[in-house]
Structures are given as C-alpha cells and as structure tokens.
A and B are shown apart, each in its own frame.
Chain A
C-alpha cells in the first residue's frame, strides 16, 4: 500500500533521514520505534507532507506522493494524527470531529461516521459539546484519533499517541488502535514506548540516527537481544 524508498530529508543542512526504506501492506499495523532523534517523527511528517524530502520516493497505492503538500496527501486519505494531539482547543468535540471530515461532502455518511467514532470513544460522547481544550490529555488523544478516523483513512498514521499519558490510558489507546485495525484500518504507528508498540504491531522498523537499523515482525523484534537491551530497558 505504502512504499517508502530511500528517503532523505533535511532540516536545513542537517540530514535527519539518511535513506529510509519502509513498506506498509494493507491491513497491517506497522510501527517505527527508536530513540529520540532517530527520525521516526520526521519520517511520518515527510510522508504526510509537512516536510518535503530532498530525494527518495513515497508511493501510495501506486501513486507518487513525495513532496506533495499536506492537504493533498490528506485528500488521498493518508491521515496523520500529529504528535502532541493538536486538537482545535476552542472548538467543541463535535466541531473537532466535523473538521476531521473537512474534505468530505457526503453529509449522511459523515453523520454515520460521527456516530461510529462516538461509539468507539464513549468518553467523547459525554463531552461532545465541551471545548477540546478542556479535555484531559487522554481524552484529547482520543479526540485526535477520532478526528483522524472521520476522514475515513486509507492509512492512519499515529505520531506518539502514548506521549505524556498515564499507563492505564496508554493501554486504552492501544486497545483502540487494535480495534481500529481489526475493523480494517491500516496503521502506521510511531512510538517511543517500544514494548507497547511491538505488542500490537504486525511488523516493526527500528530506526537509528536516520536510517533503518533492524526490521522484523513485532514478535521477532520483541525477542531480539539488541532491541531488548536498547529499547525495552532490560539488562
């Protein structure tokens, strides 16, 4: 579905991605793990069009999307749930969700999808009239994911959904990710929390300083000596 080939992205003169090659198949959960500054978020931002790559290709459903501006990538239903939630703080939960469907015109379908995501997150239904900014961190993350789902993504890209959240909430978020995947959404997940990410992922890539260091299925990586030492904190 998504083929990223030899991607090089620069911040000014600093080469943040030094030739990333990854692939996501339809129906999978694929995770990118790695330390701070390994290039996980940069990879996601490059795919979603927030940053343009210098060289390399990003092929989505057979179409070249490298360097395309963010709103056009969104139009291909490659949806990014940005790092740090980034909900619209002064809009109500409902307005936030409606913004998620900004590029869609099918009113009835949007209403149906709204119902669906509220079913998925009962917590949001309770607060549907409340301002996004007054939600707790966990609820905001749910809102961000729900907003992403409102676009009916072909590929949902989550950037550190567990960031700054209490462990119980992280579990809930990951349960939801599994649920969404079972219901047919392909997911690309960037995570610091390697243990959680690898447990839910079909496959994973370990990034180190801008390139892919290791790859394998979630289970393989969980069992890998190097991963265990470096990212799971085992001695």
Chain B
C-alpha cells in the first residue's frame, strides 16, 4: 500500500507542475482524437461505438452534475430529459422532412438536415420538461425531491411505452413503419472524401467527433457557469438555504435554473443519440440509466468536471470492455459464450460493490471539487481542536489584553 501511495503522490506532483499539466492534456487530446481513429483503421467499429457512447454519457453526467453537484439537488429521473430530447428530436425531424418534401425540396437529395437544423434547439424540449417538473416540486428538499424526480422519470418512460399522443410508437420505438431516418448530412461526405485505402471514415466515427465537440462545448459552458453569479448562488444555496436567501439569493429561481440547465444537456444528448443510432425505444430510458448517471457523478466527484468525466468514462467503458474481453477470442477457450454473457451481466453487481466501498472510503469521489470534498468529509479533528483552542484563548487572554476578541 505504501509503495502505491508514494507512486500516486509522485504522479500527482508531476501533474501539478506546468509541464506535467501540458503533457497530461496533450496525451489526453491525443487519446481522444486518435485512439478511435486507430480502432477504426483496425476495423474495430465496436470500440469506436463505445467511444461515442462514452461521450454521450459524459454529456449526460456533466448535465446532471449541474443539478446534483452544483445545486445539491438529487435528481433520480434525469434520464427522462434524455428521453424527451430523443423523442422530440426524432418527431420534429419527421415533421421537417414532411415539410421539405411537401415544398419539393427533397427531390434528389436523400440527406437529412434535421439533426443539424434542430441541434441549436435541442435543449429546448429538455429545458421545458425541466421547468415543468421543477416548478411545482422544487419546494421539496432532499429525499422528497429525489422521490418525486424518480416518479417523473418513470412517468415519462411509461408514457412513452404507451405511445403518448401517438408520437412515440410505444414499445417498438421510432422510427415506426413508414418512417425513415435518412443518413444525417455530412456522414456521406466524410465517408467519400476522408476515407483512404483500407481506412473507412465510418458513420460511428463521424458521430464520435460530433459528440466530442458537444462535450467540449459543454465543458466550456459549465466552467463558465461555475464561476458565474449563478454558480456562486448555487454554492451558497447548497451550503445554507436560509443564509442564501438572507443575502438575496432567490432560492426558487436558482433551483429552477439548475434544473433547466441540467435538463438542457440531457435534451442535447438525447437528440444526438437519436440521430446517431437512428432508432430509439423506451428501453433506452429506464430507471437503471438514471441511476447509472447518478453513479457517474458520485463516483467521479460531485461538482467536479474532470471527476464527472472520469466517472462517466469508467462506468460506461469498463463494463463494455469487460464484455468485449469476455467475448474475445483470447478467452474463447476459457469461457463458453454463456459464461461470457454472464460476465457482462454481473457488471451491475460490481458497480454496487464499488459504490459501497467508495462511499465508505472516499465519499467525495475520485476527483472531487475542492469545496465539495470539504463538505462531504467528516469534520476534521484537528480543525475542531484548533477551533476550541482559539475559543479558549479568546476567553482567557482577555484579562491581560482587552483588544483580543
């Protein structure tokens, strides 16, 4: 243990230096940009798809982090916003295609511009849903809020399963019979112009880069939020609601902003997922998904952007890699196909155990935000002792020195 600890400290020290930081980000950028390309070049589309999926979950986790990490509101139905974004994106896309066809714009061009045209508005359905659920229930606190949001998540899933308003096509999902999602604009172009030799610029790689761009955009926006007036209001509210309102923070709108801005990223992620995969069904939006996103935020470190990203990467990628390994030819002699799929299924058990261990040993997450870590750590004995000492001194020094407080 000691050796590991020393090693970690050394690594940490290196990354704290300027050179270390630059090196770290350089390596990270290289991995982000080129590893999927290498997998693609090796013909391993499965891994490219996992990279893109990780990106989607990073987006979701970053969104939920606003609600849970910054504002301190537990939302157990976050995946509902993802669903709303996905279904709204698909349906508006169909409408748009119809409209364009009606106007005669869709003659020869099979390309689908819906994704790009709707992307700037993709957050809107999520935000609206966030406000709709947020406005009536934000007076609730803690556990009660968590229960209501859990209910909301289930309501959305059940509504979608039962073909609400006739737009979700029930359990069989979208697109339904007679509907098609044409390849999204740009997809064909990169395939034709950026492929060479054996390397094919596939649809999944194309989407991977879109998702990476969205994640970067999310990081930019959320970092700015954290340093904004609203960000400070969130911190104040999380620490003490009464005190926050006494300095002039409007508790209700501050919470609502957190809900709406968190939901916005859910909507964007849903919209993107829908057009990437080209098919959505209620199964993708079940309660377990909500739980997983919460796990990502908690495991990585609430209120911390790097932590949240790490959490999302670990929770999404590791089980997929385990599953891929179990099914790979390397282990085909050791595991039967049945056993291999069992290994994949046990991943939730592993998470459960991991979360329990995590909460016991490191409640602040792997890469916590500094402030959040302090909030979640038990009060330090040395601080308590120091405080008592100060008080004692203050009380006793007074006899000799009237200036001491």
Contact = CB atoms under 8 A, between A and B. Distances in A.
A87 B249 CA distance: 14
Please classify the interface of chain B as helix (H, G, I), strand (E, B), loop, or mixed, using the class held by over half of its residues.
helix
Interface residues of A, number: 40
Contact of B250 (A69, A82, A88, A89): A69
A94 to B, nearest CB: 12
B345 interface: no
Contacts of B246: 48, 50, 70, 74, 79-82, 86
B232 interface: yes
B375 interface: yes
A143 to B, nearest CB: 11
Contact of A138 (B229, B236, B240, B405): B405
Interface in A61-118: 69-71, 74-75, 79-82, 86-91, 98-100, 102-103
A163 interface: no
Interface string B215-252: 00000000000000100110110011011111111111
Given A86-B242, A89-B239, A166 B395 contact: yes
Interface in B251-287: 251-252
A73 B2 CA distance: 56
B239 A90 contact: yes
Contact of A102 (B249, B386, B391, B405): B249
B371 interface: yes
A135 B389 CA distance: 11
Given A50-B242, A86-B243, A168-B395, A136 B248 contact: no
Residue among B235, B239, B250, B371 facing the most chain A CB atoms (10 A cut-off): B239
B247 A102 contact: yes
Given A102-B233, A142-B405, A90 B247 contact: no
Interface in A117-155: 121, 123, 131, 133-139, 142, 147, 151
Given A88-B239, A90-B371, A102-B233, A74 B245 contact: yes
B236 to A, nearest CB: 5
B383 interface: yes
A41 to B, nearest CB: 12
B303 to A, nearest CB: 11
A172 interface: yes
Interface in A38-54: 48-50
Contacts of B251: 70-71
Q: Tell which of A70, A100, A138, A166 has the most Cβ of chain B within 10 Å.
A: A70
- How many of chain B's residues touch chain A, expressed as a range? 20 to 34
B141 interface: no
Contact of A139 (B245, B374, B395, B405): B405
A169 interface: yes
A151 B247 contact: yes
A147 B247 contact: yes
B390 interface: yes
Contacts of A121: 405
A152 B240 CA distance: 21
A226 B314 CA distance: 70
B248 A75 contact: yes
A74 B386 CA distance: 34
Contacts of B229: 102
A91 B237 CA distance: 12
Nearest to B402: A168
B395 A102 contact: no
A138 B245 CA distance: 23
Contacts of B371: 90-91
Contact of A134 (B236, B245, B252, B386): B386
B143 interface: no
B70 to A, nearest CB: 13
Nearest to B403: A122
Contacts of B375: 89-90
B243 A102 contact: no
A179 to B, nearest CB: 13
A74 B374 contact: no
A69 B251 CA distance: 10
Contacts of A50: 242, 245-246
A213 B367 CA distance: 58
A151 B243 CA distance: 13
Given A74-B248, A90-B375, A99-B247, A169 B394 contact: yes
Given A74-B246, A135-B387, 13 more contacts: A50-B246, A71-B250, A81-B246, A82-B242, A82-B246, A86-B246, A99-B247, A103-B247, A136-B391, A138-B405, A168-B394, A168-B395, A168-B398
Closest CB pairs A-B (n = 8): A74-B248, A70-B245, A103-B248, A86-B243, A136-B391, A71-B250, A168-B398, A88-B239
16 contacts: A48-B246, A50-B245, A69-B245, A69-B252, A70-B251, A80-B246, A82-B243, A86-B242, A86-B246, A89-B240, A91-B239, A134-B383, A138-B394, A139-B390, A168-B395, A172-B405
Interface of A: 48-50, 69-71, 74-75, 79-82, 86-91, 98-100, 102-103, 121, 123, 131, 133-139, 142, 147, 151, 166, 168-169, 172
